[in-house]
Amino acid sequence: MTEPTKPTSTIESADAMPPPPRDESKASIAWRELKKAPFTAQFGILIIITYITVAVFAPVLAPYGESEIVGTEYDVWSNQFPLGTDNLGRDMMTRLIYGARNTVGIALITTLLAFFLGGTLGIMAAVLGGWYDQLTSRAVDVLMAIPGLIFAMLLLTIFGTSIPSLIIIIGVLDSTRVFRIARAVSLNVVVMDYIESAKLRGEKVTWIALREVLPNIMPPLVAEFGLRFCFVFLTISALSFLGLGLQPPTADWGSMVRDNATLITYGDITPLLPAAAIALLTIGVNFVVDWFLHKTSGIKDEY
């Protein structure tokens, strides 16, 4: 005769069961994805974080004031001036550090303005269609037919070269490119059944644009934001090199190349340092954008 089995209590059975898995936080998920990212993406993220840190803590990191004259003009590299001085005797390292704040900060604000204008108009053109789509599209065609850099130089000559004018002019001109991609990807969404259902429910146009269209076009817009930032960044640097961008005594990498270009004829690489800072940030942002496009494309092949 077999001995009856002892019933297991509810408490004991509960203790024997493995604990339910905890939901991962967004930070842990992001860190796991970052560790799986290719070396190029990790390198690009490191560059971006470094530039942001330098821009935010520029007054702490810089040894001198932004426009402070601390030596003779074109002083050589030394312990006191690790990168020498510029054409007015200002410390080049200090100017490079403050240039990160001014050039990158203004480029970021300009890009945000371009995306607000172009993204809003592009999504509304796709949702509304009809005469509004035709009117905005033809206006954008006219603006895009004019070379952007030449048009920007003309407008800056007319309205002045102040920082607000620079941000507004470049932001408006670049919003035409954002309008094109926002409208193109939105047109693929507005024909979906759930958009028609939202219209039949009587939802407002702004609700459809913000709740239905915008979340479904974020990946291409985010990738375009990175690329557009690079173009804006290079445009501002080019305008500063030509004397129509950020004006003295504001530190700017484009104007620093122009002011110290004479040193190249003597074999001094100092003028190449701000140019290298521009190129390095552009490369870093493009690395991150390429990785993001790969992640959102659905392609599973590794780099």
299 pLDDT more than 50: yes
Domain assignment present for 12 = no
Domain assignment present for 287 = yes
pLDDT category of residue 88 using cuts at 50, 70 and 90: confident
- For the record, the structure tokens of 145 come out as 């037919």
Instruction: Kindly report the length of the chain.
Output: 303
Domain assignment present for 128 = yes
Instruction: Classify the phi-psi angles of 120: left when phi > 0, otherwise alpha if psi is within -120 to 50, otherwise beta.
Output: alpha
CATH number at residue 186: 1.10.3720.10
Model pLDDT for residues 55-65, shown as the tens digit of each residue = 999 999 999 98
pLDDT category of residue 180 using cuts at 50, 70 and 90: very high
Percent of the chain predicted with pLDDT > 70: 88
Listed in sequence order, the residues at least 6 apart from 196 whose beta carbon sits closer than 8 Å to its beta carbon are none
Q: Which residue range(s) make up the domain with 194? A: 40-74+87-296
CA distance 155 to 160: 8
**Best CA proximity match to 249, nearest among 64, 84, 78:** 64
Q: Is the backbone peptide bond immediately before 249 cis, with ω within 30 degrees of 0?
A: yes
CA distance 303 to 296: 14
CA distance 73 to 172: 39
Q: By the 8 A CB rule, do 179 and 140 touch?
A: yes
Domain assignment present for 234 = yes
Model pLDDT for residues 110-156, shown as the tens digit of each residue = 999 999 999 999 999 998 888 999 999 999 999 998 888 889 999 99
Domain assignment present for 25 = no
Indicate the pTM of the whole model.
Answer: 0.82
pLDDT at 136: 93
Model pLDDT for residues 150-167, shown as the tens digit of each residue = 899 999 989 988 899 999
Domain assignment present for 24 = no
Query: CA 229, 246, 62: angle at the middle one, nearest 5?
Result: 85
pLDDT at 265: 83
Total domain count, the chain: 1
The sign of the torsion formed by the CA atoms of 160, 166, 167, 170 equals positive
CA distance 132 to 117: 15
31 pLDDT more than 80: no
CA distance 33 to 227: 22
